[in-house]
Each structure stands twice: as C-alpha cells, then as structure tokens.
Amino acid sequence: MMSGKKWGVALWLVAAAAAILTCAVSRLITVGDNPGWTPNVNYTDWASHQHLYVGDWLLFRFDKRYYNVVEVNKTNYEQCNEREFITNITKGGRDVFQVTEARPYYFISRGGYCYNGMKVTINVEASPPAPAPAPANSSPSKTSAQVVLSIVSAIAVYIW
Ligand SMILES: *[C@@H]1O[C@H](CO)[C@@H](O)[C@H](O)[C@H]1NC(C)=O
Ligand SMILES: *[C@@H]1O[C@H](CO)[C@@H](O)[C@H](O)[C@H]1NC(C)=O
Ligand SMILES: *[C@@H]1O[C@H](CO)[C@@H](O)[C@H](O)[C@H]1NC(C)=O
C-alpha cells in the first residue's frame, strides 16, 4: 500500500506530466500570418486554411495606435457591433489569447475597422488527429509522451 504522502507525490507527478504534454502540443498561431491583424485582409480566407485546437494560442500582431481586438458573440460579429464585447484582448499590440473550448470564436477590431475586414471567425476543434503510425522499420524515436513518462518514472524510482 502506498502512504497518503506517496499518493500525493504520485498525483503531483501525473499533473506535472500532463502539464508538460499540454505544453508540447499547444501551438501559437499568428492571426493573418504575415500581415497580422490589419484592415483589408480576408480573414475568412485565412481561417479556412487553419486548424485550431483546444489549448492553442492566438497571437494578434497589430499597430495599437489604431487597432485593437475584442472577442464578441456571433450577432455582434456579423453586425460589427463594437459596443458589446465578451473579452478585451488588447494590450500592447502583440497580444495572445488561448482558446479553451471547441466552438467558434469571433473577434473584431473596434474603432470602425470591423467594416474594413478586421473580423475573424475561428472554429476551434477538440483535438488534433492522431499522428500517423510510424513505419515498422523506422529507427525508434521517442514521442514526447514517452520522454515524459521515462522522466516521471525515473523521478518516481528516486522518491520511492
Ligand atoms: C474572402 O474569402 C472567401 C473564401 O475564400 C470568399 O468566399 C470571400 O468572397 C472573400 N471575401 C472578400 C471580401 O473578398
Ligand atoms: C449577442 O449579444 C447581444 C447583446 O450584446 C444579444 O442581443 C445577442 O442575442 C447575442 N447573440 C448571441 C448569438 O448570443
Ligand atoms: C482594452 O484594454 C486596453 C488595455 O488595458 C485598454 O487600453 C482599452 O481601453 C480596453 N478597451 C476596452 C474597450 O475596454
């Protein structure tokens, strides 16, 4: 039987491993790629080529003298209604936002720029497709999960 303390340590290790794994798979996606967050970019077109997953981060790069970014609901997105918003993401012009749910997210710039195309819908998916199985004769390379597990078991052996 493991003592209460050891269970605590075990739980901590599992949580740490989960945190490391989450970091390993979440990505930072620059909205709009090179032009960033600016008028006259077709973000519908941009978004149609993206796959965003729960846990990913969005990076909005923009000139904060003119533009900003807020999350709005669907109605206010469609109508470019900037009076109501859900989250103010604007800080310094290199601002990040983590998507935490599998659902559409709607972002606009206030200041009238929504009408100039500064609006984007991002459909967040639950999880990335499973990686293709490695060919049988390929050299063994560890996945990040295996690396984390071996670190965790090494620590566990040391503690026990
Ligand atoms: C933006 O791109 C989408 C998809 O490619 C297209 O259907 C739409 O007409 C474009 N919008 C504008 C304003 O060009
Ligand atoms: C969005 O919020 C507005 C109020 O700001 C509300 O009238 C509208 O019904 C909401 N739309 C959705 C899709 O929730
Ligand atoms: C959003 O936050 C920024 C930075 O704190 C602030 O300057 C701006 O006024 C805020 N916008 C709104 C609409 O609250």
Above 70 in pLDDT, residue 14?
no
First to last CA, the chain: 12
Substitution candidate for ligand 2 out of 73, 77, 85 with most atoms within 8 A of CB: 73
pLDDT of residue 139: 47
| Mean pLDDT of the 116-128 span | 94
Structure tokens at 18: 């989960």
* pTM assigned to the model: 0.74
Q: What is the DSSP string of 8-64?
A: HHHHHHHHHHHHHHHHHH--EEETTSSS-S-TT--HHHHHHT--EETT-EEEEE--T
CA–centroid distance, 70 to ligand 1, in Å, is 22
Compute, in degrees rounded to 10, the torsion defined by CA atoms 126, 119, 64, 30.
40
Above 70 in pLDDT, residue 40?
yes
Substitution candidate for ligand 1 out of 40, 44, 121 with most atoms within 8 A of CB: 44
More confident residue, 111 or 5: 111
User: What length is written for the chain?
Assistant: 160
pLDDT of residue 24: 57
Ligand nearest to the CA of 84: 2
Residue 83 φ then ψ, to 5°: -75, -30
CA–centroid distance, 89 to ligand 2, in Å, is 19
- 42 Cβ inside 6 Å of ligand 1: yes
Question: What 3-state DSSP class applies to 52?
Answer: strand
CA–centroid distance, 73 to ligand 2, in Å, is 6
pLDDT > 90 fraction of the chain, expressed in percent and rounded:
62
Q: Are 106 and 98 in contact (CB under 8 A)?
A: no
**What band does 99 get if pLDDT is binned at 50, 70 and 90?**
very high
CATH superfamily assigned to domain 27-128: Cupredoxins -  blue copper proteins (2.60.40.420)
Substitution candidate for ligand 3 out of 68, 109, 114 with most atoms within 8 A of CB: 68
| Mean pLDDT of the 4-18 span | 65
Pinpoint the alpha helices (H) of 30-114.
Answer: 43-48, 74-78
Q: List the chain domain ranges.
A: 27-128
